[in-house]
Structure formats: C-alpha cells, structure tokens
Structure 1
Amino acid sequence: MPVTASVCLAACAALLGPVTAAGPAGAAGPRQPGYAVTPLKLPVRAGGRDCTLDADLYRPTGVDAAHPAPAVVTTNGFGGSKSDGSTDAIARAFASRGYVALAYSGLGFGRTGCPISLDDPRIDGRAASQILDFLAGQRAAKNGVRVDFVTKDGPRDPRAGMFGGSYGGAIQLATASADERLDALVPLITWHDLTYALAPDNADRTSGVAGPAPGAYKHQWTNGFYLIGEAQGLLHPRLDPSRGGGAGCVHFVAQACELKKRLNSGRYPSAPTEAALDYARSVSPSSYLATVRTPTLLVQGQADTLFNLNEAAATFETLRAQGTDTAMIWQSWGHSGGMTDPAPGELDLGKGNFETSYVGRRTLAWFGRYLRREWDTDTGPAFAYYRDWAARGPAYAASEVYPVGIPRRLYLSGDGKLVDNPADVATGSRHYRNWRVASSHSESSLAALTKLPNPKPYDTRGTYLDWTSEPVRGRPVDVVGAPRATLRVHSPDAERTQRSDDAADRLLLFLKLYDVAPNGGKTLVHRLVAPVRVPDVTREFTVDLPAIVHRFAPGHRLRLVMAASDTAYFGNRGSKQVTVRSSRAETGTLDLPVVGEGLEGLDDDLP
C-alpha cells in the first residue's frame, strides 16, 4: 500500500491509544479525590535486553501505607505513549475514583526503551510483570521512588488490574499469562489471533477464529501500522539505543519484521510462511490463553475491520470453557468508527463518563468486585451487545448464553435470489472473473483514524455475484452473531493451481452482507468482509462471516455478495473464472443468527 509520510504522521496522531481523547478527562461520578502524579523511569529486563519503562504514577489523596488502595495499570495503543491524551486520561479517570493508577509507554513507544515486539508475552508480558514487582514495593524506580501504598494480598502480590484498548488490550492477556498476580482485566478492541487479524481466512474454521490457510493479506492496515512503528524516531528524537530493531526494521524485533516481509511478498510457500505465521500465533492470545486465569471483561467494537467481533468471541469462548471468570460486551465503536465521537451513552474515555455509560458501569463493577473485593457487586450478564436501532429504552440487550439467536437459513438460487425454501431454488449457473487489479472496494482501512476520505463500497460488474432476498415483511430481522455460508464453486483455473506449495496460487474470494433499502441504496454492514482462501474448489466449504449486530428493517432486503477482490486486501494470483451452480439438489446456504422477543436468554432490562 502506498502510504505517504503525511498519511503516516496523520495515522500516528490518530493511533495514540484505544481512542484519541476528545478533551481533558473529566472525573464524573461520586468519587473525586485529588491525586499526585510522579514521573518514573522503571528499569526492566525484557527479551534479553535492559530497557527503561517511561511511566507516571497517580496516587490519590489520602492513600498511604496505612490506607492503601488497589492499582489499575494502563498502557498505550499502537503508536501512542503514556501521555498521548488517551492513556493518561484513563489513568486520571481511575485515580479520581480512588485507585492508584500507573500509566506507562509500552516497549518501543514514547520514551520507553526496547524495540516493538507486538505484545509478546515472553517480552512485553515479562516487562509488565516487573511493574507488579514495583507496585508490591519489591523494586524501586531509577529515582529511588518505592511504593508502599498499594493494597497487597501477600508480600510480593499487589492487588492490581489492567485497562486499555487495542495494543493496550492484548498486553493485559500477555501479562496475565506471564504473571498470575493480576486480579482483573478489561481489554478493549483487541485481537485473538494475529494470523486472522492480518491475513484472515474465514473458510473451514474448526476452532478459534482463523481458518487453516494464510488468507487474504490486509495490506492497508498492516503497512499503515508498520510505518507508524518505524516513524517513532521522527516523533521522538534521541530515542534510547535499546530501541534498535532487527532484520532490516528500525524499531521492530526481527521476527515481527520477517512476518511483515513475508506477508508483503505475496508469496506464501509452506515452510517460510508457516514459520512466519507461527510467530504471529506466539504473540497472540490464542496461543497462551490456557495460562490466563485472571477474571476478564472483554469489550469489542462492532465498527472494526481490524479486530472484528469474532476475535473477542473466540477469546471469550476459550476462557469460559476453561473456567476463567469472563464476560463479553459488543460496544458500538472500534478501529473503524466512533472512537473519537462515540454514540450517546457509550463510553467516551476523553470525557471519563464511566458512571453514565454502560461499558463504564460494567468496568467499575468488574474492578469493584475483583480489586476492591466488594463481593456483592453485580458484574452483569455474560454477554451484552449494543443496538444502534434502540431509539427507546436500553441500547444494550443481554444474555447469559452465547451464541444467541436461532439460525435462519436462506438458499442461494440460480436466478440470483436468496430464498427461504429450498423448493424455490431455481436451477442455473452464473460466473465472474477477477481482474488483475482490485475491482471491489469495502473500505480505506485507516480512514476513520486519519480522517482521510473513505469512498462508498462498490463492486464492478462481471467481477462478482450477488443473491438478494425478498423485502423483509412484518417484524424486522435482527441479526446478532456471525452468519455462516456453505458454498461450492467451480473453477478449472483454480483447480489447476491449488495443489501448488504456494498458498497464493489457491483461489481467493470475498463474501459480504449488504442491507438494501427500499430506494435501492445499499449499506455494507460496518464495511466488513470475509476473505476466503478456498481450500479445494472440488468440494464444499463453509465460511464464517464477521459477526454483526444489525437490524434489517421491514421493506429492506438482504444481499450476499461474492466478490473476486477487495482494495483493502491482496488478491488472486492470475485470472480465474469462478462459476456458482444452483439447483434443488445442490445449492449454497446462508445461516443468519436471528434474535427477537421471546428467545430464551435475552433480556433488555439491564443494570
């Protein structure tokens, strides 16, 4: 992706944390003690290097050795720092509510040493573990500051939680995997598996979130973040020499640099590609969640094409299955929209509206129970999701079970219709052929963060197929969860190349779900796309689309699109014709998780 220096700098300014603070953090709510802020330089050993963490310690008025308080640790999103307007806003918010807060710049960011290592539990997690030693009074900062005012559950065990988003979310899970002393986590809009986040394959998933093959490379997101990381020297002159990277990168560890090079090459032979993806998995929660026992409140954004809802769902299901206390919230905003201007009633970190937002109240309850040990505190339902159509009453619905909804099956008819009765499937076949350049557009990935233009989604005739339902009649159709398609395609061109050792020779296609209004206007739901590296064009395969929370109103129609390409992703190698045949005996299906009144487990009456 050609990203100019100006775009990079704009992205750097925008990606300073889980959100860019809209203004000074307010101390809304009943608890508003003052606090003192002490700058710290914390020496740590991480990844075989000696590094210094740049941190600020927030001590509430009245907190001392005789009156200790639990601590909340927070760190920046990718490209940010301890004082980026968001990370420090989080620290102020918790300090104003009586928690000792510590905000630090993550490894490779701000004035902290060491190269960027992608929240590696063996590096970033170990570094954060040494912060817990500091909070327990077991080690001092370089200026001699030592803490004796954090609540402790043992001589070396501070009562501490973590809060933060995106890059500042995954570090929480990485730290918990490296150090069991953490007591509570609230990671927002973060990843489960970087192989899925950077090169998603939505075909034939058996567990977790990723399919079996390297999928379609998200070159816009990946190269944008790469340039943000490499630009740290421009943003912060005279950096610590320990920040030096490897494998040709200025500020990334060698393995992260090799991963980016492999993805950018567009060539994916099995051995080197698997080595690169193994590294991506090793810095992903998917590889170490078995060691995470800390109570975790997951918050994921619906408007997010970087880390979609499927990522949080996979983490939630893994933690729940192993008995870790966990809950999940699907809020409205994510990397692709709403971060700087959340919907009314949503958590706005720039305003510090914890008491007056649903996610904020859930966060305070989570920390109240697990940090303050207020055991009678109701921490809320197992699963809750924001509904942008709820003009009256609560915006969130909730359930004690996940997934929710009842599958509603639609059939792909040969005449381009989506029908709900297999007897209505028309016999027919249709085909498309990809161009050498992308002919469909879903998004300009960094647009929401950089304020750059983001053209409307489009598809080019002859390079896609679509199937459209009849207008919704009667009650609306509310979809909550991940739609699943079962498909079979025919492509002699792909069949000739799919046994190659290079995964890039296999067929790529892109599924997406539109909402078509009565006037013909169409909306690609949250601009989400499901890339598919078809494992074998001679057999049937399944596709898990990104999860959504969306109402198809009466009069609106559902449209499933299968496109040959997308501007946000690397595409097919060579030109391949794809044919989809339909008959009553052989047809594709689309299963929608539909919720509504009277479905078991749903509750609109939220705290």
Structure 2
Amino acid sequence: MGRATRLSIAVTAAALAATLPAPVAHAETAGFSVQTLHFDTTVGPDGGRHCDVEGDLYTPTGSSADRPAPAILTTHGFGQTKDAQRPTAEFLAGRGYVVLAYSGLGFGGSGCKVTLDSPDPDGRAAQDLVSFLGGADGIAYRDAAHTQPVPGLDLVVRDEIAHDGRALPNDPRVGMIGGSYGGAVQFAAASVDPRIDTIVPMITWNDLSYSLAPNSATAGAGVSSAVPGATKSSWGLLFSAAGVTAPGVDGYRGDPTKLVGCPNFADQTCKVLVTAMARGFGDPAAVRFLRSASVVSYVDRIHVPVLLIQGEEDTLFNLNEARATFDALRGQGTEVAMIWQRLGHSSEGLRTGFARRPDPDTQYPTRRYLDWFDRHLRGASVDVAPAFAYERGWAADPSDPGRAFANAAGPDVGTAFALHLSDGGRLTTDPATIRPGTQSLRTPPAGLVDGATPSNLSVPPGPRPEQQPAGGIAQWTADPQAEPLDVVGAPTLDLEVSTSAPVTGPADAPVLFVKLYDVAPDGAATLVNGQVAPVRIVEPGRPVRVTLPAIVHRFDTGHRVRVAVAGSDSNFRGGLVPHQVSIPAGDPARQLVLPTVAN
C-alpha cells in the first residue's frame, strides 16, 4: 500500500480501532439496496457554478413514505472516493438509516477541483445533497450528463423546524459522519445548512495553517498562531501528490478543466504549497486562505451536536486540534463530546483497522457514534455520555475491554507535574537540586536537515532512532521512574533561546523542534507517538512556552522522561538562516510540565 493510500484510508479506520467499555444491545442488521446517482450541485456566491457529484444511495429494506427513516450523509478522506465509505454506509444502512456516500469535489467521479473543504463550494455542494434527501427534485440523476432525472426522496423523516428556528423546505432528519477530509467538510456543511441535525467529524483539523505548518509557541487560545510555523514537508508532498493524481487519466479526460491552472487544485492552493515548501512557512495570504477552509474561522456558525473523534497516533491532525474545536464549541454552548482513540493518520496498524467492519459490540468509537445518531436522529433514550473519553494503550486487556478507555467530564484531567532543566542534561523534580548550565546547538542553512529522523507519516511501536550530528541537539533526561507516570494532555516546555546573530523577523528566525521521548531501561528512546513541536523564535532572549501535541502515554517503572530540542527534522522545512543557539538551564521557571493522572 502506498503512502498516499495510507493517508486517505484513515476515513473509516480511525473510528474502528478501539474496544468497547461495556457491550450494549443494538438493532439487528437489516437488508438494503444500493444505487449510484449523480447530483447537479450549484456552488459559488451566486450559485452559478455547477459541479457534478457522484454518490451511492443506500436504502434500508422496508423504508418508505409511510415508514420514513432518518438519513446520514458521508464522504471520504483526502485522495479517496465514495467507495471507501462502503463499510460505514453498509453498517448504518443495515441499522435502518438511509445513507448517501459521495465522492467529494475533485475526487472519484465528482467534478470541479479540490478546494480544501471550504464552506463554499464544498459545504454548498453538500447542501444540495441534503435537499435531495429532503425531497427536492431536479438534483439527482442516473447519469453524469444529467439527462435521466431521479425524484427527491420521500422516505426520509422530515423536520418542521431547522436548527436556526426557521421552517425550511426539503428539511430531512440527517446527520453526517466521516474522517480527515471527510470530517472537515461536515463543519463546512453545517456552517451553511441549518437543516443538518448532528455531525461526527473524525481525525480532522481545526486550523489547516497549524496542521500543515505548526508553530507550537502559540500565545492565544486554540492552535492558531500569529507567527508562522514550519512546513510539514513529508505530509505536504504527500498531500500535493494525492490531490494531483486523484482524478487519474479518465478523470482529467472527462473534465479537462481540472488541468487548467493548478492541476485538480484551486489555483490559490498551488501558490500556498509552493510558497510553504520554498520558504518553510506560508505568507499572511496563505495563512488566511488555509484558515478560511478551517472551522476555527466559522465555529460560531456551528450549533448542532458534535461528536469529535481524534487519533492519538496522528502527526497530521494531532489531539490539540480536536481540543481546540471542543473548547470553542463548549465555550459557545454547543453540545459536544470528544473521544481520543489510538488510531490516527500515522498509526502503523492503519491498514488492519481499515479492513475491519464497524461493530458496536467490540469497538468503542462505533458504539459511541451509533448511540449519538440514535439519540440525535431517532430521539432514542440512550446515554451519550461521557463528554470526554481517552484510550489508554497500557490498560488494554482482552478479557476486560472496558479498561482501555477512561471517562471524564472534560479534557482537563491532568495535574501539573514539573521537571526542571538543570546542568548536565538533567531533568529534576526538586528545585533545590537545579544547577545552572547551558546547552548549545546549531541550525543548518536553507532549511536543510542535519542527520536524519524517522518519517512521521507512520508511528511504528518501539524505539525511533535518530541520527543527529554532534552540536545539532540539546536534551535533558529525568531519573528512572520509581512507579508508572501516566500523562494525558498537552505537555509544555518553558525555555529561553538566545542566538549569536540578530533576528529581524520570521524569514531569518531560527526554527527548533521540540520532542518528548520515553527512554527504556536499556537506553532505547521512543519518540512518543512520533510527535514533534516546531517553534519559530522571532524574539530570542525572551521566555517562550512551547505547547507540545497532546498525548496519552505511560512512562513505565524504570523508564525515563527525556525532552529534546533539535536544530532540524527530516519531516519539516527548517529555518532559512543558520544560527548558533544557546538554551540556559538553572532557573526554576525553565521546566517541562506534564499533565499527569492517577494510575
């Protein structure tokens, strides 16, 4: 399986990898029929642009105008087509839901170009599919030429009032589900269509400018930063290749407009990708463009219940992104719950997880999203708590699958555990033992890489050895654990960085890469979940707080905590100007803080 395929199959896989805390009974599966249709969707500010969308309609046996059923709309991850949603669609149709699985714009048999799940056109296109589910004619056809019309459905439950309080035409009882690219489009659709009743976005982004070029030294709420970060070169190249090759020869032949300008991408996307790869960060226009395709820009327009599912092993869209969305939704009073599960874009077992079919009796996320739909689409009296659940890999037990997940009222479950930077590369818990000292490292020129680091496209279990040259990394290591240390949440590192040369702005600023390791008794170091926190230091000499990607991890007895600051990383485009960097220790405020929970 190629890397592009591995990236895209995360749509269904991320919801299927975990185990169920307590078995519950659900309706037995029933039969259904499947029909492939084409939809004439209209997008753009004036609705004057037409985009053909190809989709598969799954109709449960027995559903009719006299026995209507609720509906679910679903689409896929980046580079995929509607076919990737077949396991989920069959699972939900077998439980009595009308399901429409479709290929997003620019993918599979759907027309127009890839536009990064923007409210318009991607949200607008989904809006027309909702209208079809609600009974609107003139949208669905049996053929791509739109010459054989199919009437709007009359077998989906109708709502009298939409979520904005208005009585709107063709208003079905409908939810959405999907992962990665198919997760972000749900926010886009819900932001423009109040007829959508609930959404379940999985392993997706909050701010695409952070996802693709994070600066982990953010000053405000969420993950967005006023200072540009460092481009994820590995993910960026894979993303670019997957988008350009997605239509294939037949797709480009069937819609030659995909070749005009930027191949299969909106023209501005190419500008963003080229600039980000060349400079190592996006300019202000690029950041604005990426954020416009992100829920962070329009979260105030999301007012339907949201179940977020995010992967702990995900170096593309990390846990901090789901946390940012959760906080924003909860802060404005929107009903929201969140699950952190092991499987994400970077999981080594992604193929295995993808091959599994949904099973609410053995898979925790599946049970949770089925309960969520039954509650919000059927009105069933089913408990959809807790507001927050996280999977603990160390607690997995085949004889007691309920141990894998812990529940809480919210994600602030950890208590701060401070480890202070001290001379000799030591991390100490006792401020009285701190000793002053300085570690130095260099950053290479032109955004190049000194040495080599493992790919963050996948996170294999066990050690992840790095080849860092002497003088290319600074690190501090704690004493062996006398008992297990369980971390749930985002670690922070407070440090001060000075440079030998002046810094005038982002272009000549040093870029550093902060990493958290689990060091085994034999000395083998594992980069926790493959996560790296880049920081662009535009004000050397001033204290900076680095917020690392959140983790759920146990440092077992005898293991040691290590934090490292590197001058380069093979998965990122580093700083353009070389720097000699010094990081002092000895001040109690220079510390690594881990959010820990009781064993």
Alignment of 1:282-431 (within 5 A): 282-337=292-347, 338-342=349-353, 350-374=356-380, 376-392=381-397, 393=400, 394-431=403-440
Query: 2:296 matched to 1:277?
Result: no
Structure 1 counterpart SS, 2:185:
helix
| Greater Cα shift, 358-367 or 235-244 | 235-244
- CA offsets, 1:502-534, max 9 Å, x none? x22111101010000111111100110000011
Alignment of 1:531-570 (within 5 A): 531-570=534-573
Alignment partner, residue 602 of structure 1? none
C-alpha distance in structure 1 between counterparts of 2:451 and 2:85, whole Å: 37
Q: Is the 8 A contact 1:135 1:158 kept in 2?
A: yes
Q: Is the 8 A contact 2:6 2:350 kept in 1?
A: no
- Give the drift of 1:89: 1.6
Alignment partner, residue 439 of structure 1? 450
Alignment partner, residue 591 of structure 1? 593
- Give the drift of 1:280: 0.4
Alignment partner, residue 150 of structure 1? 156
- Give the drift of 1:350: 3.3
Structure 2 counterpart SS, 1:88:
helix
| Greater Cα shift, 567-576 or 72-81 | 567-576
Alignment partner, residue 200 of structure 2? 186
- Give the drift of 1:59: 0.3
Q: Is the 8 A contact 2:11 2:202 kept in 1?
A: no
- CA offsets, 1:55-106, max 9 Å, x none? 11000000000000001111111001011xx312211111011100000000
Structure 2 counterpart SS, 1:433:
strand
Q: CA RMSD in A?
A: 2.2
Structure 1 counterpart SS, 2:53:
strand
Change (3 A) 1:21 1:513: closer
Alignment partner, residue 492 of structure 1? 500
- CA offsets, 1:179-230, max 9 Å, x none? 1111111111000001100100001331111222111110110111111111
Query: 2:492 matched to 1:479?
Result: no
Alignment partner, residue 40 of structure 2? 43
Structure 1 counterpart SS, 2:393:
coil
Query: 2:104 matched to 1:113?
Result: no
C-alpha distance in structure 1 between counterparts of 2:256 and 2:76, whole Å: 19
C-alpha distance in structure 2 between counterparts of 1:127 and 1:304, whole Å: 29
Letter in 2 for 1:294: V
- Give the drift of 1:307: 0.3
Q: Is the 8 A contact 2:8 2:79 kept in 1?
A: yes
Structure 2 counterpart SS, 1:364:
helix
Letter in 1 for 2:265: F
- Give the drift of 1:292: 0.3
Alignment partner, residue 166 of structure 1? 180
| Greater Cα shift, 139-148 or 208-217 | 139-148
Paired residues in the alignment total: 562
Change (3 A) 1:275 1:336: same
Change (3 A) 1:349 1:327: farther
Alignment of 1:168-247 (within 5 A): 168-234=182-248, 236-237=250-251, 239-241=253-255, 243-244=257-258
- CA offsets, 1:15-41, max 9 Å, x none? 44435779x9xxx96421110111111
Alignment partner, residue 603 of structure 1? none
C-alpha distance in structure 2 between counterparts of 1:364 and 1:515, whole Å: 36
- Give the drift of 1:471: 0.7
Q: Is the 8 A contact 2:88 2:357 kept in 1?
A: no
C-alpha distance in structure 2 between counterparts of 1:219 and 1:67, whole Å: 52
- Give the drift of 1:262: 1.5
C-alpha distance in structure 2 between counterparts of 1:36 and 1:410, whole Å: 59
- CA offsets, 1:142-162, max 9 Å, x none? 232221000111352100001
C-alpha distance in structure 2 between counterparts of 1:123 and 1:245, whole Å: 19
Q: Is the 8 A contact 2:11 2:180 kept in 1?
A: no
Normalised by the length of structure 2, the TM-score is: 0.90
Q: Is the 8 A contact 2:11 2:178 kept in 1?
A: no
Q: Is the 8 A contact 1:19 1:340 kept in 2?
A: no
